[in-house]
Amino acid sequence: MKPKSQEVFIPGPAGRLEGKYYKNPKFGSPVAIVLQPHPQYGGSMNNKVVQVAYNIFLENGFSVLKVNFRGVGKSDGVFDNGQGELSDAAAALDWIERENLDYSQCWVSGFSFGSLICMQLIMRRPEVNNFVAVSYDWGMVTDLARRNQARVVGKLGVEHVWVSADIQKKRVNIKKNFIAWLSKPEIGMVPILMAGDKEWQKQLFNAAKNKKTKYIVQFQSPFEHTYFKYGFAGIKPIFTSGNRSESYTEKYFMLFKLSLFYMKKMLSNPKYLNSSLLDSLKGFFSFYFKTGKILSLFEFIKFDENYINEYLQREFSWECDDSTPTTWRIGDGTAPIYNYIYWIYAGFTENDFFRSNQIREGHLTREKALKIIHAENQPRPEQIRNYCQLIDLDYDFVMSQLHKLKMNSLVKSWDTKVGS
């Protein structure tokens, strides 16, 4: 016989919260709450995914509670853009803990919007430990990124670990590779300028091991794939959207061809055979040959760019970069220079690819995307100048070398305005 749940009304910050609750009679049973998807898109505790999660907890010996956020069903109040809903979730968790003082474990789960609230909740609870934020500094992380990260982890009360490379050595390596690239420009070799940051995955796994953290979650959007870089290396990309995923054979054959491409280009340009080579190889292997599983937040919740940007700015005073309307890559000091190179050579940048992915998934119309990328692709001379200063290269020398390349009309227009 299936255990019976009961309707409950618990005290919340904006009035009572409607819930459904099952209490396991066994002493020391674990407790769990399940949080609903977005209230303004039809979400409630009666959502099918929420009900499945609720039943799983119930059938596995938990005392479990699911609630309607404020303004949903019989719950009092009105929608509060996530802040009030976080308080509702905290009230629900407090209630089930009071009802089960002998609980052995405390679990929090959510679906879509509920999982976002869930993550914020567990970072604020003293009974949850081993939640650690990790950042890798390879010498090109912007001050803007540092300030934004400090605000977020500070407000959430999360431990933040900075793993720093040998910054001076990394910048010297970048300089050597950039000089090598300028001596023989090749569009497929542009990623060599970012090879130094590819160790971030290795450092992430090391930090998780040291902190005894079981799961690694990254917040990369699902639209950040830049397959065109494989194409510039003469390799047909493997697209992995929807239910399509690459096989091991496909993946490693593609990596083999990519390795041959880099090897051939380096041998044809001896300036690449410098002291940065070992560092580049380490970055390549640590990035493409992962040693563990990294979860993506947006495998569990919908990526809504506008909502995320508004939430970060409202809750954490998130800073944007005045030189560009995009919030993507503003923490990467190399993005302005390599996107400028892509625009000179190909007439498009990573921004175009990002927006194209959004069009294919129905997040943007083509007309709106074209307006956005026109603004996003404007060159950023001050950021390029900062990049040159960090790696000790003369800005005028770099720009004069780039101007020798075939330029499209937008770049010519920009050059005329700023006089190089």
Helix extents (H) in 6-72? 48-59
Parallel, antiparallel, or unpaired: how do β-strands 15-22 and 63-67 relate?
A: antiparallel
Tens digit of each residue's pLDDT (9 = 90 or more) over 357-396: 999 989 899 999 999 999 999 999 999 999 999 999 999 9
Tens digit of each residue's pLDDT (9 = 90 or more) over 208-225: 888 777 778 888 888 888
pLDDT, mean over the chain? 85
Q: What domains are there in the chain, each with its CATH number?
A: 6-123 (3.40.50.1820), 133-418 (no CATH)
Tens digit of each residue's pLDDT (9 = 90 or more) over 321-346: 999 999 888 999 999 999 999 998 88
Q: Summarize the confidence of residues 288-315 as an average pLDDT.
A: 80
Tens digit of each residue's pLDDT (9 = 90 or more) over 155-178: 777 788 888 889 999 999 999 999
Q: Residue 2 — very low, low, confident or very high, per pLDDT cuts 50/70/90?
A: low
Least confident of 293-302, 325-334, 351-360: 293-302
Residues in CB range of 343: below 8 A, 6 or more apart? 349, 377, 379, 408, 410, 411
Higher pLDDT, residue 231 or 120: 231
Secondary structure (DSSP) of 69-136: PTTSTT--S---TTHHHHHHHHHHHHHHHHHTTT-S-EEEEE-THHHHHHHHHHHT-TT----EEEEE
Strand order in the sheet with 15-22: 6-12, 15-22, 63-67, 31-35, 106-110
Tens digit of each residue's pLDDT (9 = 90 or more) over 73-121: 999 999 988 889 999 999 999 999 999 988 888 888 888 788 788 877 8
pLDDT at 301 over 80: no
What pLDDT score does 416 carry?
A: 44
State the Cα–Cα distance between residues 247 and 403, nearest whole angstrom. Answer: 42
What pLDDT score does 316 carry?
A: 87
Tokens of 145: 């990124």
- Percent of the chain at pLDDT > 70 equals 91
Tens digit of each residue's pLDDT (9 = 90 or more) over 179-214: 999 999 999 999 998 888 888 888 888 888 887 777
pLDDT at 302 over 80: no
State the Cα–Cα distance between residues 294 and 204, nearest whole angstrom. Answer: 9
Q: Summarize the confidence of residues 119-135 as an average pLDDT.
A: 71
What pLDDT score does 248 carry?
A: 59
What pLDDT score does 247 carry?
A: 59
Secondary structure (DSSP) of 380-396: -HHHHHHHHHHTT--HH
State the Cα–Cα distance between residues 31 and 80, nearest whole angstrom. Answer: 27
